[in-house]
Amino acid sequence: MIKTSLSAGTLALAALAAAGSALPSASAQIRAPMVQANAESAPVGYASMNGGTTGGAGGATVTVGNAADFVRYATSASPYVIRVNGTITLSGMQDVASNKTIIGVGTSGRVTGGGLDLDSVRNVVIRNLTFTGAGDDAINVQDGSTNIWIDHNDLSNARDGLIDIKRGSDFVTVSWNRLHHQDKSMLLGHSDGNASQDTGKLRVTYVHNWLDGTTQRHPRVRFANPVHVFNNYYVNNSGYGAASTENAGVLVENNYFENVEEPTSIQEGSSDPGNIRAVGNHLVNSGTPVTRNPGAVKAVPYPYTAEAGGAVKATVTAGAGVGRI
């Protein structure tokens, strides 16, 4: 799934393993270090399920360079592929309607001042954009939104979070993004008191992201099980890497941790602890990942191919961020 060079036989083996194994890692084919494709034409992981995530495919393609045009197409009831060529300056959280692809042109697409709000929507793709200086979140996914793919973006300097997913949202993939110059990075589940809406939801795949000197929440998970965190590059994260709380189940698999004292955490703030299974991670000048009740982390429900942890740094730094699709 991750490597475009996979044969049909390899994909079939991965699918058979996923169907027949009780352990999450058994659904993966582990590959030795190699050059890896970094621009999938469709999402890996959860956003490939539940009917898939295609964004505005089938609708008209438009190119925008100012906020007025961007808002007009982003809020339309019709499907659109919206190409962003220039800087879109927003004053707050801007709603995005269902069935949209929002994609930057080359390295020129930028969103500043505000962020994108995906509220009770379905089938949205956000790719190849630079987000900086948001007055709240850079990207907020909430209120039961499903089938969201956030891919190949550069995100920094938001007042709150960079990519927050909450309130019963589901079937999301966050891939190939570079996050930097930020404290709170990626929240998954906003409140210890929201179990009724979040339990059985908030299923997210985090893959091939570059967590570049950000402090915490990579991600910070409540309730969801399983959340899949694999093949990400963590470097100089002064708080912690991935956290599981409120009985969540998180598979932390084949990541590369460099200068990260606390790669994983099972308790943050006043939240009750969560569960973590950690396998195949590569550690450079980093602490030992903390685990808890690894058998409680459910099996990942899709086939995938995980690159060996030691190769992840080279792959991610060569492929994450804008201008690489």
Q: Catalytic positions, please?
A: 217
Q: Are 94 and 72 in contact (CB under 8 A)?
A: no
Which DSSP symbol is given to 75? T
Q: How far is CA 153 from CA 50, 77, 174, in A?
A: 24, 25, 10
Q: Are 286 and 258 in contact (CB under 8 A)?
A: yes
Percent of the chain as helix, strand, coil, to the nearest 5 = 15, 35, 50
3-state secondary structure of 207: strand
Task: Measure CA 317 to chain center.
Answer: 16
3-state secondary structure of 245: strand
Count Cβ neighbours within 10 Å for each residue of 284-310 and write b for 16 or more, e otherwise. Answer: eebeebbbbeeeebbbbebbbbbbbbb
Amino acid, single-letter form, for residue 176: W
The number of C-alpha atoms within 13 Å of 206 and in the hemisphere containing its C-beta is: 34
Tell me how far apart the alpha carbons of residues 147 and 134 are, in angstroms, rounded to a whole number: 24
> DSSP E strands: which ranges in 157-241?
163-165, 170-175, 178-180, 187-188, 204-207, 210-212, 220-222, 227-230, 233-235
Burial of 140 (0-12, 13-18, 19+ CB in 10 A): buried
Quickly tell me which residue has 């939801």 as its tokens.
201
End-to-end CA distance of the chain: 16
